[in-house]
Amino acid sequence: MEIREAQKLAWANKVAKGFNTTDVPLEFGLLTAEVGEAFTAWRKGLPDFGEELADVLLYLVGLAEMTGVDLAFEAERKIRKNEARVYARDQRGVPVRIAEGGAS
């Protein structure tokens, strides 16, 4: 499934079920809760870890649709930007960005 399709399907489900479609702060809170649930499922080795990650994705694409963001476009752009960045390890061995690389 493509990101744009997931974004549209998640939004259609929110509308059909009468879920939140206007309260951005609430949606961020719900997304944060889903990230916490996914972390707990991973940490405890629960069998629903994948389903919890899917919940994170659905809340994220729903939030993107709610705010008019083309998440597929933004993800592609960000991946290109990250690929162009240059890192070096500091004295502690931590990667530190030293150059942006090409145009963003």
Per-residue pLDDT, 104: 45
Per-residue pLDDT, 42: 98
Band of residue 102 on the pLDDT scale cut at 50, 70, 90: low
Q: Does residue 30 fall inside a structural domain?
A: yes
Per-residue pLDDT, 64: 98
Q: pLDDT per residue over 84-93, tens digit each?
A: 999 999 999 9
Q: Does residue 27 fall inside a structural domain?
A: yes
Helix, strand, coil proportions of the chain in percent (round to 5)? 65, 10, 25
Return the residue matching tokens 């690929």.
Answer: 83
Per-residue pLDDT, 101: 73
> Total domain count for the chain?
1
pTM: 0.87
Q: Does residue 104 fall inside a structural domain?
A: no
Question: CATH number, domain at 94?
Answer: 1.10.287.1080
DSSP 8-state code for residue 95: E
Instruction: Yes or no: say if 52 and 38 are a contact pair by the CB < 8 Å rule.
Output: yes
